[in-house]
Amino acid sequence: MPFMYLLLAVNLVSIVICHFIAKSRGAKPVYWGVMGAIFGPLAIPFVMRANP
């Protein structure tokens, strides 16, 4: 059960990080937030390289 909460926390942090990185770079923050929700931490390097 605690492992499930850890996965949920990591996923939520990934959503927030992707959203704020996309917002600061001028990309679509909602799109990248969804990508963070689907792919978790794997989406963070991609949002950093995304073109606005």
DSSP letters spanning 4-16: HHHHHHHHHHHHH
Q: How many domains does the chain have?
A: 1
Q: What per-residue confidence (pLDDT) applies to 16?
A: 97
Q: What per-residue confidence (pLDDT) applies to 1?
A: 79
* Cα–Cα dist 12/26, whole Å: 21
Q: What per-residue confidence (pLDDT) applies to 51?
A: 81
Q: What confidence category does residue 18 fall into, taking pLDDT thresholds of 50, 70 and 90? A: very high
Place of tokens 């990309």: 27
Question: Which of 20, 19, 22 has the alpha carbon at shortest distance from 33?
Answer: 19
Average pLDDT on 41-47 reads 96
Does residue 8 have a pLDDT over 80?
A: yes
Phi, psi for 51 (deg, rounded to 5): -90, 140
Amino acid at 17: I
- pTM > 0.75: yes or no: yes
Q: What per-residue confidence (pLDDT) applies to 52?
A: 73
